[in-house]
Amino acid sequence: MMRMKSILVAAAVLAAASVTAKKSSVPLVYDQEFTGAKYAAPAFPSVSDAKNLETLPNPFEFENSKKQVKKFKDWEKRRAEIVRELQHYEIGEKPMVDKKDIEASLENNTLTVKVTRNGETLTISAQITYPEGDGPFPLMIGASNNSLPRQFFSERKIATMNFRESQVNSYSQMGGFGGGGQKKDRGDYEFDRLYPELVDNGAYSMWTWGVSRLIDGLEIVGAASKIDMKHIGITGCSYAGKMALWSGAMDERIALTIAQEPGGGGAAAWRVSQTLGKVENLGATDEHWFMKSMWDWKEENVSKLPYDHHELCALVCPRALLVLGNTDYEWLADEAGYVSCVAAREVWKKFGIEDRMGFSIQGGHGHCQLPQSQYPEVEAFIDKFLLGKEDANTIIMHVDKTLEDKEVQKWIPWAQVDFK
């Protein structure tokens, strides 16, 4: 009996050691915006050619191939395919920028980045709020604004900075107004001056492009920025929650993404949203945020999408992601967000790093007003992934009672869900 007990203990120790070794071999963040740039794009089927799939696509299956992701080294290529798909079908190309085309400076705690292309220059500026000390400090970027409690960052000596998206493209790209009351439309904004060939792009490709240029600027400024480039986070709420999620998905230099109440077009899976009530589904979101061609897939064609938004969430892997929801607002489609998060988490789980992906969907509070019940969850992610506190508990899969009995397994037949 004692010998059997010893064998079991030894096996448990070896298993734990194996998980630790596996986890330590998976990066927490990268020093490149897009590690998959070297891979060719997959084939992009049209609506008429796409296969119908009523469940969420398997994120481990390569397009046009029987090959599947078996090891972490396979994920880089598969991830690149999903990036290309999302840009092709939803938001448009997010162009890369050579550092020689960027000027950056930091004066009076304000970072200024100038990008020049074809004789046109776009300027983005952002004020950085620093804690006391010499740094380098972790940084939390607010997508449009940071709606999380300020003390989360000030008490932890984390610098903060907001990205003002209007410097790249207006909140209302369609039918907005510029200087002198002149009406502006798609193609008339700052980003469009640099990239007139991308006139059909949605705002989320432009906004994520702007966030990446700020990170470029920090790299160019170097040590003078007093920012720890390995510990950069981004957060936002509502439409800016989408912006944070898209930015974290599309820039691998972001270590932590906290998407607060991102709704449809964010974490929520389009296929699931289509089965719900008055929610932000594919045919009922803001058209200027996405490519016009995305609407070819609405209603009866949603199930023919070659991907879904659980894969948008999964693009953050192996970096850290926390999705926050609010069931009091039907429009946010949090049932679809719940299913999507469960499905996406399977990717982190496969590589033994499920502590890097969490979700907390709670009602009983105002829109973009973080309730006290979610404070410890958000703080845990900040502590572990911006401050490196390994003992922080980030195994968070928290939903309120309105979602507990919702069916999840039927949407992801390629995985075995081990919790409700």
Query: In 28-96, at which residue ranges do the beta strands (DSSP E only) sit?
Result: none
Tokens (6 digits) for 234: 């981004």
Amino acid, res. 130: Y
* Whether residue 88 lies in the annotated active site: no
- Active site residue: 88, 365, 367, 398, which one? 367
Per the listing, tokens 């709020």 go with 129
Q: What is the DSSP letter of 89?
A: I
CA distance 204 to 87: 10
Amino acid, res. 373: S
CA distance 75 to 45: 22
Determine which helix (DSSP H) or strand (DSSP E) holds 86, and give its type and residue range.
helix 72-86
* Whether residue 231 lies in the annotated active site: no
- Dihedral class, residue 388 (left if φ above 0, else alpha if ψ from -120 to 50, else beta): left
- State residue 318 phi and psi, 5-degree precision: -95, 10
Query: Which residue intervals of 112-202 are DSSP H helices?
Result: 151-154, 190-194
- Active site residue: 144, 170, 238, 360, which one? 238
Given a contact cutoff of 8 angstroms between Cβ atoms, the answer to whether 341 and 332 are in contact is no
Per the listing, tokens 């290309």 go with 84
Determine which helix (DSSP H) or strand (DSSP E) holds 245, and give its type and residue range.
helix 239-250
Sign of the four-CA dihedral 47, 50, 55, 59: negative
Packing angle, helices 203-221 and 239-250, rounded to 10: 60
Tokens (6 digits) for 229: 């480039």
- Which one, of 231, 239, 278, lies nearest residue 260 by Cα? 239
Given a contact cutoff of 8 angstroms between Cβ atoms, the answer to whether 143 and 167 are in contact is no
- State residue 159 phi and psi, 5-degree precision: -75, 155
Which residues are catalytically annotated?
238, 367
